[in-house]
């Protein structure tokens, strides 16, 4: 009985280390190939099966930590399953035939069950690179698992070494020293693999060469107020007025490094710009295809756009503004020539993300296929080589890593719509207090209250502030917007008096509609309600 327990512990431990090595192998292969790993596929399955209200509540509660925690839980689950399969292997006749049977069984589970549940088709057929994943990458990772099982677990009969000098056996399994040596080698390999993963990520992020410079024959059409060379408001412009220089107030143009990032991926794609193509196809008279250089050579336009995530909570930070340069989507669609009967424009990305917008909205002249952000090459995590910007609708429909624009005769439900989120996704009017920060202790006397307000493509005409919990309201001073599609900065003076104060803000959009006070969670069409901040005045 003691021998069985000791051998079982060895087998479980070997299975855990084998699973860890296989997971790291899959992560490294994912970085090299760009094909989603098993962990990402399992995450997609969980998201697909998780009821939308539970998903939204988890996202609201955990915020930026939701994705890393899900990833960690899936990895721990993989390690536990690997350990249990190690026990199964130990009960079989240890050796390559048994290990390969386990690996083949795992392959069948993923290829025939997990991928279809994730919506990736049988054998991952609907994934870009699905055949590579199913026939090469997945077997390679499982072979790593099988190899460590064979090396780390041996039958009791092979553990005995004749002669008095043989090391003491660990309760019927491998000799203790031999088993510990195998554990050490496995962990060392895992550490090396983890280091390689970390080292490869920046290399993958730079794949595609140096930042491209604007073509010499491309003349960007300014559609925005004058700016400095870095994209910030030029001195003397309305955006540089001194009364809006409030500590803690968001900059009107968000630096690239500070711009919010949301993605369905655990590891975002790294697109090879040399092989990348943008295709316009479907129900068109003339399908089109552009290389990166050809796209940049088209007439360029520049504009300021604010993006907001549909999962942004009231007062949340998933909202940013940048100066984008690209080409008009409508120009490309008109060149392709839409046929009668088109309903949606289906948008495809390099990470197999699918979204859609109605044809009427796609033909809006201010939709932009952007390849520059704040005067720099579009960053990888913002969609290099090209991304879509559609004024008036939440960020999930502003597709990154854009590869294909297809005109179709049906209403397409995209990745997030299949999970319960809005298909219309029109921005709700929102406002936020940036300064003072919640919980801050202020000095009695004159204090500024400042923040941002956003109404999508409707604009903002008025911002009101309350310093007494909504009993009375006063108008704030609002800066002119950088464009019809950006947030505005606002500031209101406040004569702070000793005690505790509840500050609130509300905005009125360009149609005259006042922001709703009704509290609503992010699911399915964005959060609503007044942002409230409590401060103390000493």
pLDDT in tens, the chain (538 residues): 445 566 778 889 889 999 999 988 888 887 777 677 778 778 877 876 777 777 777 777 777 777 788 888 988 999 999 999 999 999 888 889 999 999 999 999 988 888 787 777 787 777 666 677 778 888 988 999 999 988 888 654 444 344 444 444 444 455 555 545 555 554 555 444 444 444 444 333 333 333 333 333 344 444 444 344 344 444 334 445 678 999 999 999 999 999 999 988 777 888 999 999 999 999 999 999 999 999 999 999 999 999 999 999 999 999 999 999 999 999 999 999 999 999 999 999 998 899 999 999 999 999 999 999 999 999 999 999 999 999 999 999 999 999 999 999 999 999 899 888 999 999 999 999 999 999 999 999 999 999 999 999 999 999 999 999 999 999 999 999 999 999 999 999 999 999 999 999 999 999 999 999 999 999 999 999 999 999 999 8
User: Bridge-partner residues for 326, per DSSP?
Assistant: 301, 370
Domains of the chain, by residue range, sit at 2-205, 221-419, 430-537
Structure tokens, 317: 């930070």
Residue written as tokens 């026939």?
135
Choose among 435, 428, 405: nearest CA to 519. 428
* pLDDT score for 144: 92
CATH class of 430-537: mainly beta
Quote the CA–CA distance of 372 and 472 in Å, as a whole number. 44
The runs of H, that is alpha helices, within 65-170 are 66-91, 96-109, 115-117, 130-132, 138-152
* pLDDT score for 240: 55
In this chain, the answer to whether the domains covering 221-419 and 430-537 adopt an identical fold is: no
Determine the 3-state secondary structure of 128 from DSSP.
coil
Determine the 3-state secondary structure of 208 from DSSP.
coil
* φ, ψ of residue 359 in degrees (nearest 5): -55, -40
Quote the CA–CA distance of 490 and 78 in Å, as a whole number. 50
Is it true that domain 221-419 has CATH number 3.20.20.140? Answer: no
Quote the CA–CA distance of 189 and 24 in Å, as a whole number. 10
Residue 389 CA: distances (Å) to CA of 159, 244, 287, 420, 529: 64, 28, 22, 22, 26
- Is the CB of residue 153 less than 8 Å from the CB of residue 10? yes
* Helices 2-33 and 38-49, axial angle in degrees (round to 10): 90
Quote the CA–CA distance of 208 and 518 in Å, as a whole number. 47
* pLDDT score for 264: 83
* pLDDT score for 184: 54
The runs of H, that is alpha helices, within 162-256 are 176-205
* pLDDT score for 502: 97
Quote the CA–CA distance of 225 and 157 in Å, as a whole number. 81
């Amino acid at each position: 009985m003691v021998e069985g327990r000791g051998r079982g512990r060895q087998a479980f431990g070997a299975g855990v280390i084998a699973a860890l090595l296989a997971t790291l192998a899959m992560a490294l292969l994912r970085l090299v190939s760009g094909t989603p790993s098993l962990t990402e596929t399992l995450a997609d399955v969980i998201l697909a099966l998780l009821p939308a209200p539970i998903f939204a509540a988890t996202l609201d509660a955990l915020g930026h930590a939701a994705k890393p925690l899900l990833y960690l839980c899936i990895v721990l689950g993989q390690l536990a399953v690997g350990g249990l399969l190690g026990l199964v292997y130990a009960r079989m006749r240890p050796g390559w035939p048994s290990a390969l049977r386990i690996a083949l069984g795992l392959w069948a589970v993923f290829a025939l069950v997990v991928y279809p549940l994730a919506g990736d088709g049988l054998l991952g057929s609907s994934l870009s690179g699905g055949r590579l994943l199913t026939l090469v990458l997945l077997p390679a990772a499982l072979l790593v698992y099988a190899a460590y099982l064979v090396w780390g677990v041996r039958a009791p009969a092979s553990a005995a070494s004749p002669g008095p000098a043989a090391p003491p056996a660990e309760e019927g399994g491998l000799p203790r020293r031999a088993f510990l040596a195998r554990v050490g080698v496995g962990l060392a390999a895992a550490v090396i693999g983890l280091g390689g993963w970390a080292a490869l990520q920046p290399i993958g992020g730079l794949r595609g060469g140096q930042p491209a410079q604007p073509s010499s024959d491309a003349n960007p059409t300014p559609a925005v107020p004058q700016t400095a060379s870095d994209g910030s408001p030029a001195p003397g412009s309305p955006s540089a007025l001194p009364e809006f220089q409030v500590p803690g107030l968001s900059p009107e143009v968000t630096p690239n490094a500070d711009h919010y990032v949301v993605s369905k991926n655990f590891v975002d794609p790294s697109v090879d710009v040399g092989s990348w193509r943008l295709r316009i196809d479907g129900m068109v008279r003339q399908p089109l295809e552009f290389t990166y250089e050809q796209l940049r050579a088209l007439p360029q336009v520049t504009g300021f756009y604010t993006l907001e995530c549909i999962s942004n909570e009231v007062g949340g930070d998933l909202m940013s503004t940048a100066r984008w340069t690209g080409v008009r989507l409508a120009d490309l669609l008109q060149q392709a020539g839409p046929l009668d009967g088109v309903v949606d424009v289906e948008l495809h990305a390099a990470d197999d993300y699918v979204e859609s917008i109605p044809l009427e909205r796609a033909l809006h002249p201010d939709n932009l296929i952007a390849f520059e952000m704040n005067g720099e090459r579009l960053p990888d995590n913002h969609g290099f080589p090209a991304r879509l910007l559609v004024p008036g609708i939440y960020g999930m429909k502003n597709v990154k890593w854009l590869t294909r624009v297809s005109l179709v005769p049906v209403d397409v439900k995209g990745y997030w719509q299949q999970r319960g989120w809005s298909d219309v996704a029109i921005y709700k009017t929102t406002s936020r207090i940036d300064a003072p920060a919640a919980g801050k202790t202020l000095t009695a006397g004159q204090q500024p209250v400042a923040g941002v307000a956003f109404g999508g493509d409707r604009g903002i005409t008025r911002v009101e502030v309350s310093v007494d919990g909504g009993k009375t309201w006063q108008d704030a001073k609002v800066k002119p917007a950088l464009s019809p599609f950006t947030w505005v900065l606002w500031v209101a003076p406040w004569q702070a008096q000793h005690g505790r104060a509840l500050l609130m803000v509300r905005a009125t959009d360009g149609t005259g509609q006042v922001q709703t006070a009704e509290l609503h969670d992010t699911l399915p069409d964005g959060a609503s309600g007044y942002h409230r901040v409590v401060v103390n005045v000493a």
